[in-house]
Amino acid sequence: MSTRSEGDAARWRQEGLLASSVDGRLEGGESARGLPDEPGAWDREEHLRRDVHVLRDAGSQAAESTFEIMPATGARARTRRTVETSQRLPAEAEQAGAGQARYGFGVVVLTQGRRPEDLERGFRSLLVQKGVDLDIVCVGNGWEPTGLPAEVKTLALPENLGIPAGRNEGVPHVSGEFLFFLDDDAWLPDETTLLRMAQMMRAKPQIGLIQPRVTDPSRDDAPKRWIPRLHKGSAEHSSAVFSVWEGAVCLQRRAFDQSGGWPAPFWYAHEGIELAWRIWDAGFQVWYAGDLAVAHPVIDPKRHDEYFYMNARNRVWLARRNLPWPLSWAYVGSWTAVQCARWARRPQQLRAWFSGWRDGWRDDPWGEDETPRKLSGKGLLAMSVNGRPPIL
């Protein structure tokens, strides 16, 4: 970490924008088989000890640190304990770990340059991450990126390609075992978030994608829509999921490559559902990590006709692109019934929604450079066995 980044970290801690310690919790509870919330499935303390040299190399202070660890015990246990752990390793282990490579991340930040202060905050939170080597590209979606940190590469797209296509454009320009996508108004409130996600996917290589819990540090009423589950529950409860909030997600690069990436034709809306489905279809699992956090301001979700249109069109495209008949009809039919019931007294919204619904059936859902490919029977079975058949 550079001297400038260390100075930023110290200043942010004083301002309360960045955590100075690892606030990780493993919660016991109902979860998909073999995933990190199960007792003993992911020994976080063991991984912190194993990677102590990484934290030291990144400029961590002292050998004594305080970590909050949630014991993985009963199904609904919520007991927390604070333990003082010495990170001093035996001489031979410390010597063996000294040459171990740090976790490599390719980071893609997409922006139109309309939020320069938020964008700067996001980059600063990336540059102070410990234990990782970052290859960062800022993709200007119809904008020429300027005034960015020297550590950040830039890619200017001559026109706005939409959110998922813009993210895809950045991927070939970065290297690393892992990929991280960050929206231009989001940031990481802890210096070890990327390290801990990499540790989790190294410990459980079947996890192909992680979405952290989304919080707004200035308030305590985070919207339930940020929890990517039908049955929302507590935001701190981790579980397997079948859609993601797209503003900050971490993937194994091989999982991203095998999934085919973000659905470029979508422009925006529901791209996180298709990506999650495709990750499952590639033989990986998608994990919502309630014990890790990313920060994002709560924004009043004022909806307009374009939003309702894109919501419906992309819902139909999800079915047409991914599901065989009759699942495709069942999926669209169930969501049509839900929307009609939800907006029965909002005819203007339903008119815009059904306009998108009609175009979803009429227009080609595939991009020019895409090869049509539906989910495999194995992928559909994996989603169903893990609690979410793609019908609703």
**Encoding tokens for residue 319?**
């079915």
| pLDDT given at position 356 | 94
Examine the pLDDT at 186 and tell me if it is beyond 70. yes
Q: What is the mean pLDDT of residues 373-389?
A: 93
Cis peptide before 212 (omega within 30 of 0): no
Rounded Cα–Cα distance for residues 249 and 210 (Å): 6
Confidence at residue 226, expressed as pLDDT on a 0 to 100 scale: 87
Would you give the end-to-end CA distance of the chain in angstroms? 46
Residues 6+ apart with CB under 8 A from 94: 52, 53, 88
Q: Which one-letter amino acid corresponds to residue 228?
A: P
So what's the pLDDT on residue 389? 84
Which of the two residues, 280 and 68, has the higher pLDDT score?
Answer: 280
Residue with tokens 């819990």: 213
> Does residue 85 carry a pLDDT above 70?
no
Burial class (CB in 10 A: 0-12, 13-18, 19+), 218: exposed
**pLDDT tens string 7-21:** 555 554 554 445 433
Structure tokens at 265: 């034709």
pLDDT of residue 263: 97
**Is-contact 182 118, C-beta < 8 A?**
no
Q: Which two tokens stand for residue 157?
A: 């797209």
pLDDT over 70 (residue 273): yes
Q: Is the pLDDT of residue 31 over 70?
A: no
In the chain, the percentage of residues whose pLDDT exceeds 70 is: 73
- Is pLDDT at 99 greater than 80 in this prediction? no
Mean pLDDT of 92-113: 71
Binned at pLDDT 50, 70 and 90, residue 363 comes out as very high
User: What is the residue-averaged pLDDT of the chain?
Assistant: 80
For residue 111, give every residue at least 6 positions away whose Cβ sits within 8 Å of its Cβ, in sequence order, or none: 119, 138, 139, 140, 141, 143, 145, 184
A 10 A CB-CB count for 96 gives 12
